[in-house]
Amino acid sequence: MTDLTLRLTQRDQPLRIHLIGVAGSGMSGLALLLLGMGHQVSGSDRVTTAETTRMQNQGLRFYSPHTAEAVQDVDLVVYSSAIRPDNPAYAAATATGIPLLRRAECLAAILHTRKGIIIAGTHGKTTTSAMTAHALREAGLDPSHYVGAEIPILGANARWSEQAEFMVAEGDESDGTLTLYQPTHSLILNIEAEHLDFYRDLDHIREVFTALADQTTGTLVYCHEDGVAHEICSKRENIVTYGWHDATFTATDIRDLKGSSAFTVSKDGEPLGDIELGIPGRHNILNALGAIALADCCGAAFPLVARAMATFAGAKRRFETKYLSANYHLIDDYGHHPTELAATLQTARSLKPTRLIVLFQPHRYTRTQALADDFGKVLQAADRTFITDIYPASEPPIPGVSSETIVEAMQRHGVAPATSVPDLATAHHLIGNLLKPGDLLLTLGAGNVHEAGSRIAADLKILEEMQALMPPGEIDGALYEPMSRHTTMLVGGPAQYWLEPHSFYAFAFLVEYCRARGIPVRVVGRGSNLLVRDGGIRGAVIHPAGGAFSEVGLAPGKGTIIAGAGVRLQKIASFATANNIAGFEWMEGIPGNVGGALRMNAGAMGIETFDQVIRVSFLDEDGVIRTRERAEIEADYRNVPELRRNFALQAVFKGKSDQPLSIKHRLEDSREKRRASQPVSASAGCIFRNPASIPAGKLVDELGLKGRTSGHAAVSDIHGNFIINQGGATAADVLKLIDTIRRKARDQRQLELETEVKIIGEDELMF
C-alpha cells in the first residue's frame, strides 16, 4: 500500500483508480484532483448528476448504478464513508484483493506532497477553504484546492496545479479522519458536539482535533472566540489567533452593507487595511479573518488578499441567493446544526426583511433527536417556520423522531409559528402561496431542501415578469393558489400561476405571454361547473376580475344589459330587477358568472344563456379582441364551440319591460324552486347531462345511489344529480362517486352518462 500511495503523485506511473460514490461533493473533488494528476479515473454512483456529466467531459469513465464489473482491472479503489461493505463494487474489490483506500486516506496522500493547508471545524469549513484558496490564487500563489462544494469563483470544487507550492483542503471531521493529515498549516474554526452518530461525546471530538493540532508542522491558526478550540490550542508555540478582541488578527469598524460586509483588519493591534467582503454575516467575517491569517502565514500580500475578499461571492448552498427582486429574496443555505442555523438566521435578519420565512429540513434522525431542543430555540428567530420530514442520509428511522419533534420543541420555547410539512415534494406549494412582498424565504438543510426553493424561484420569476410588463395594478397574481378556494365544490389542487387581469388588454397580454412561452392557459370564472383534480393545474389559470370584467350596466336599446365576464349571474338578476327588466329571473341562485355561462350555455327553468344574448366580445386565438352578433355564434345544449377556442370578455343581453311586482314574484318563485329542489351544501351543480330517456337525477335515484358516500363526498339526498362536499372532501372522493354512478348506469340501464361538470387538472402534482 505504501508503494501505491507513493505512485499517486508520480505522473510517469499513472494508476487506474475507481471511486465508489463519485457523485458526492467530496468524491467528485477527489476525482478532479486525480484526473488533473494524470491518472485513469473511473467512478460509480446510484445516480447521474450534472457533476458526473461534467467530469466525464474531463475524462472520467462513469458507471451507474454500482456494479462489480466497474472495478475490473483497476489498481486502486477509493470509497466514501457512506459506502457499505455490501456495495457491489466494494464487495468485488474486497473479494479480488484490489487495494482499498478511504477518501480521506487518498486525499492525505495527495496533500502530503505539497505544503498542505487543512481547514477544519464543525461549521464554516467550505466557505473558509474557498476564501483561502481564492485569496492565495489572487496573491499569485496558484494553490491546488479541494473544497466540499461547488465554488463559482474557483470554477470547481477541486483543482490540481502541478506547479503549486500549497494545497488547500477542507478537512472532514465527521468520521474521525482528521487524524490522517500532517499539514504544514492548519486552521481550526470551531469545535462543538456534532456527528454524535460517530463520536461518543465532545471529549471524543476533542481528541481528533488535538491530534490534528499535534500533527501540524507549521502554523496553527484558530478562532479565539471558540472555547474548545482555545482550550486545545492556546498553550502551543506555533499559534496565530483571530477574533473580535485579544487576538493576532481582529476585525473592527464592522459595517453591514446589505448583502455584503465591510470591516477593518488589524494584526497585533496595527491596522492592515479595510476589507469589503462579498457575502454578509458576522460569522463570515470571522471566517474571512481565518482565511486572511492563513494567507498571511503563506506570505500573501494583504492588498491582494483584500481584493480577493471583495470578489468572493460564496459557495453553492452557503447563504446563496436563489432569487432577488424588489419584492422578494430567496436564499438557500446548507446549515443543519443549531449553531449554523443561529448564525444564518442572524445574517438573514440583518437584511431587514418584512418577514423571515424558513423551510428547514432536519438532517439525520440521530442529530434531530439529540439537538431538537436547540433547534427549537434558534428557530424562534424566524417569523414563520416550516419543517419538512427528516433527510435520513442513509440512517434508519428512529421511532417517534420526525418533523413534529422540532415543531414540538419550538412550541416549548416560544410562540413563533411552526408547521410540519412532511412531504418536501409539495412543501413549495404551501410556502410559495403565502409569500408576500417584502418576504425573505430561507431554505435550510444539508439534504435536498434547496429543490423547493429552486422551484419557487423559477415560478416567481415568471410571475413577477408578467406583472412587471404591465402597468402597476393591472394584474394581481399568486403562486400555487389552491383551487379549492375558487370552485363551488371547494376541492382541487393548486394552480401553478393564478392570475387576475383587471382589463381586457391585460387579459390579452397574459394569453399572448403564456402562449409564446408554452405555458398552458385555463380561464376560470367562479368555478361553479368545475371539478379540479387534486394534482392541480399546471400552467396559468386566468381569473378575469375587477375593472371592466366586474361591471354591469344598461346597454343602448330598451331592456338591454351589458356585463363583463366576471359578473355573477345573481348580480345580473338583481340589476335587472332594480331596473324593471324581466327575463333574468332564472339566473337567481345560479352560482356561476357571465364568462362560464357563455362558454357552457348555462341554463335553468327552461331558459339558456344564449336565448338572451345579443352580442359577445371575446379574445380570439390570434390575440385579437372581436365582437360577434348572436346570429354568428353557434350555441348548443351546454356547448358553445366558438368559446372553447376563444375567451369571452363581455356580453350584451336582452330582456323585456315588466311590472316590478311581477318580476319580484317570478324571482321569488325561481329562488324557492331552486331551494326546494337543490342542495345548499357545496357542489358543482349538475354532475351529468340528462340522457334522452330519463333525467340524470331521477336515474341516480332509481339506481339507489342517493346518499352514497366516498370519503367526505356524497350523492345528495335532495337531488341525485348533485354530489356535495360534506367538509374536507377531495377531488378523488368526487371522481370515485362519478365512476360508481356511471358504472351502475352502464351495467343496469345500458346508459352512458356524460359529465356536464367540467373536469380539469392533473391526477398527480407535476410542478
Residues with a known catalytic role: 125-126, 170
Helix/strand/coil for 567 = coil
Enter the C-alpha cell of residue 502: 383587471
Whole-angstrom distance, CA of residue 683 vs CA of residue 327: 38
Strands (DSSP E) along 157-310, which ranges? 158-159, 166-170, 185-188, 220-223, 239-243, 249-256, 261-267, 270-277
**What are all long-range contacts of 423-427, with beta carbons under 8 Å and residues at least 24 apart?**
423/388, 423/389, 424/361, 424/388, 424/389, 424/448, 424/449, 424/451, 424/452, 425/765, 426/765, 427/359, 427/386, 427/388, 427/452
Query: Cα-flanking dihedrals φ and ψ of residue 336, to 5°?
Result: -145, 10
Helix/strand/coil for 214 = helix
**Looking at residue 389, what DSSP letter applies?**
P
Enter the C-alpha cell of residue 669: 318563485
Which residue from 444, 461, 478, 265 is spatially nearest to 358, judged by alpha carbons?
444
| 240 to 200, 267, 309, 511, 653: CA distances (angstroms) | 30, 10, 20, 64, 86
Contact 318, 346 (CB under 8 A): no
Contact 129, 26 (CB under 8 A): no
Q: What are residue 433's DSSP bridge partners?
A: none
536 CB-side CA count, 13 A? 22
> Would the CA dihedral through 620, 624, 625, 629 be positive or negative?
negative
With the CA atoms of 703, 706, 711 and 712 taken in that order, what torsion angle do they form, in degrees rounded to the nearest 10? 160
The DSSP-derived string for 127-166 is HHHHHHHHHHHHTT---EEE-SS--TTTSSSEE--TT-SE
Whole-angstrom distance, CA of residue 212 vs CA of residue 564: 75
Residue holding cell 338591454? 560
Helix/strand/coil for 628 = strand
Whole-angstrom distance, CA of residue 285 vs CA of residue 518: 45
Helix/strand/coil for 490 = coil
> Would the CA dihedral through 54, 58, 62, 68 be positive or negative?
negative
Whole-angstrom distance, CA of residue 47 vs CA of residue 763: 27
Q: Which amino acid is located at 84 in the chain? A: R
